[in-house]
Structure 1
Amino acid sequence: MTEPTILAIESSCDETSAAVIRGAKILSNIVATQAVHEQYGGVVPELASRAHQQNIIPVVTQALLAANVTKTELNAVAFTRGPGLLGALLVGCSFAKSFALGLNIPLIEVNHMQAHILAHFIDEPRPDFPFLCLTVSGGHTQLVLVKSHLDMEIIGQTTDDAVGEAFDKTAKMLGLPYPGGPMLDKAAAAGNPKAFQFPVSNMPGYDFSFSGIKTSVLYFLKDQTKQHPDFVQENMADICASVQHTLIKTLLKKLVQASKDLGIKDVAIAGGVSANSGLRKTLQEYAKKHNWNVFIPAFQYCTDNAAMIAMAAHYQYLAGDFSDQYASPDPRLKF
């Protein structure tokens, strides 16, 4: 059997991305970011949709050129069905459906969060099944038991806010520029992670909660700035390091518990927050302490990208998991 060549499209939020995969090898991965949101301090859904419309044809064209693949060589077209912003998803879905229909080739709809996990199979080393994956982003926080490429079970998740939102909202309270999470991570590198104490949530099982720490930070800053107006500016690095330390501790507490309960030593992280340097460093420290085999994707595959959609589509293609012409985006798509 000839190895399938697939064009994949990602448009769930504010990155327009296209990738080409042949077999299990990524041939190209093009990402167009949207700077328009910086002035608003967050993603504006309508502006994101319009930017996707402007970017998608140039991005797809560039992905095919970089892969040295023509349209007639494609065996399928894949796209992110969800979760994500509805308007943004519609652009990618509509383009993929039209492209596949015009070429008379199969269409593959991909779950964005499952694709983040399958980013671990783009490069070596690759985890063995079963493994645990902490999938962390601005919209999701999930602890997933990965049994195979297409069989995954969420065993824990946030009951309120995602950890990425906690990073971003804290950064906003501190007056850091957009995107807040990476800016907080950068500032934290120079700080003392134990300078200030914030609460670690104690949810049952493997679930998480991050609303409490956001409230705690808010009142902490209000109280401190009443007494010392320049408190934030004078203690920025320590505040960032302390908040980041607490969020990471909250995440890894559940990962440790699940690893012990299930007897699984292969652990991974995925999603936009897996690019956080503090999380990556702490996970490596935990690996030595708990005798884990740790897997962290390359930075370019942590944030939203079409290469991970392509990798998921590869395994779905082999399983004959195709969509029909009535496929539609689902902003709240579950596993």
Structure 2
Amino acid sequence: MFYLCTPIFIPKTLEKETIYILAIESSCDDTSAAVLKNDTVLSNVVASQEIHEEYGGVVPELASRAHQQNIVPVVNQALAQANIDKKQLSAIAFTRGPGLMGSLLVGTSFAKSLALGLDIPLIEVNHMQAHILAHFINDASMAKPSFPFLALTISGGHTQIVKVSDYFKMEILGQTLDDAVGEAFDKSAKLLGLPYPGGPLIDKYATHGNPLKFPFPKPKVKGLDFSFSGLKTSILYFIQKKTAHNPNFIKENLEDICASVQYTIVNILMDKLKKATKLTGIKEVAIGGGVSANSGIRKALKDVQKSHQWNVYLPNFEYCTDNAAMIGIVGYLKFKNKDFSAQDITAKARYAIS
């Protein structure tokens, strides 16, 4: 009896000294490709999509179309910057999920086709896992956390506290029950009339404002879980009440409002993280995800590092937002474990790390 199955490409040798990984990231609205030589980044190219700015948020259909336009030139540029030929590649790593399905399909289909054409292994990567493991990129400017450590993953779609016992042994200790922290930043910015993406603008204006000027309530959520929907509502009612009496209130108080909003969000995150370190006894703490570039969060972590004797690990800014280098480091680690994917693999919009 014969069985027809989808092949998994196994490299001819896993013992060669140099492993070249081409990584592809297309989970949302950034098309990115990177080349890694073992755990060292040779190139990390990102093409952003400005078209979403006029809509105040990412439009999935437009994002997938832009990925189709960008992916070939981005991959070509990554290979050119790395100064290698595609025939030198050892494997193709790609983001399988989580993310926007249309966007993921573009990256997944391209990665599968290229791996098949080059007859090299295909490696699926979890996007959120990659944010955490970006800390293990060989970069002299970044220290690597020791296992076990706690990872705070903060982005437009996720807010999680993860216990990381090994590269691929992760446990979610707490997560948002509704909105993610990045969404809270962006929607608060929208209430203030700031353009998309508004999170970085709140961070910018907050540096010049008084964080104690306008107190906002912090949600009471049990355990290590988060909630940000109530905070967004309180900010909405606050703005409506103030502008009803003074139409110029936002303009006259923008920096103080932004500082107060950011101060509240940062404190929510830090309260839960402090609780997590107390419950687990783990004082190795790393952050990842797009919101980890926020200056208020980075400063708060540095302050707690001194007061609570934590070892804090902050990723370089180029590894905070969606990028293929973080996909590549996971691809490299999986390559060493011979953890390859079959050609019938599909994208997953929802994809838990544990």
TM range (shorter): over 0.9
Q: Distance in 2 between matches of 1:177 and 1:277?
A: 19
Deviation digits for residues 54-76 of structure 1 (CA, Å, limit 9, x no counterpart): 11000000111111111111111
Q: Distance in 2 between matches of 1:201 and 1:286?
A: 21
| 1:42 paired residue number | 57
Q: Distance in 1 between matches of 2:254 and 2:86?
A: 51
Q: Distance in 1 between matches of 2:97 and 2:217?
A: 33
Q: Distance in 2 between matches of 1:181 and 1:24?
A: 31
| 1:132 paired residue number | 150
Q: How many Å apart are 1:316 and its aligned residue?
A: 0.9
Q: What secondary structure does 1:30 align onto?
A: strand
Q: Distance in 2 between matches of 1:227 and 1:65?
A: 58
Deviation digits for residues 131-190 of structure 1 (CA, Å, limit 9, x no counterpart): 011000000000000111111111100000000000000000000111110011101111
Q: Distance in 2 between matches of 1:224 and 1:37?
A: 30
Superposition pairs of residues 1-335 of structure 1, within 5 angstroms = 1-2=15-16, 3-122=18-137, 123=139, 124-335=142-353
Q: How many Å apart are 1:191 and its aligned residue?
A: 0.5
Q: What secondary structure does 1:21 align onto?
A: strand
Q: What secondary structure does 1:143 align onto?
A: strand
Supply the AA of the counterpart residue of 1:110.
V
Q: Distance in 1 between matches of 2:162 and 2:335?
A: 23
Q: Distance in 1 between matches of 2:205 and 2:316?
A: 22
Q: Which moved more, 1:286-295 or 1:164-173?
A: 286-295
Q: Distance in 1 between matches of 2:301 and 2:216?
A: 20
Normalised to the residue count of structure 1, the TM-score between the two structures is 0.99
Supply the AA of the counterpart residue of 2:223.
G
Q: How many Å apart are 1:232 and its aligned residue?
A: 0.9
Q: Distance in 2 between matches of 1:25 and 1:209?
A: 37
Supply the AA of the counterpart residue of 2:328.
A
| Number of residue pairs aligned between Structure 1 and Structure 2 | 335
Supply the AA of the counterpart residue of 2:173.
I
- Asked if 2 retains the 8 angstrom alpha-carbon contact of 1:150 and 1:316, the reply is no
Q: Distance in 1 between matches of 2:87 and 2:244?
A: 66
Structure 1's unaligned 5+ residue stretches are none
Q: How many Å apart are 1:109 and its aligned residue?
A: 0.5
Q: What secondary structure does 2:171 align onto?
A: strand
Query: What root-mean-square deviation, in Å, do the aligned CA atoms of Structure 1 and Structure 2 show?
Result: 0.8
Deviation digits for residues 227-283 of structure 1 (CA, Å, limit 9, x no counterpart): 111111111111110010000100110100111111111101100000001111111
Q: How many Å apart are 1:24 and its aligned residue?
A: 1.0
Q: Distance in 2 between matches of 1:38 and 1:222?
A: 24
Q: Distance in 2 between matches of 1:321 and 1:216?
A: 47
Q: How many Å apart are 1:125 and its aligned residue?
A: 0.7
Misfit runs of 4+, over 3 Å:
none
Q: Distance in 1 between matches of 2:249 and 2:221?
A: 32
Q: How many Å apart are 1:22 and its aligned residue?
A: 1.5
Structure 2's unaligned 5+ residue stretches are 1-14
Q: Distance in 1 between matches of 2:309 and 2:57?
A: 39
Q: Distance in 2 between matches of 1:280 and 1:300?
A: 15
- Asked if 2 retains the 8 angstrom alpha-carbon contact of 1:17 and 1:31, the reply is yes
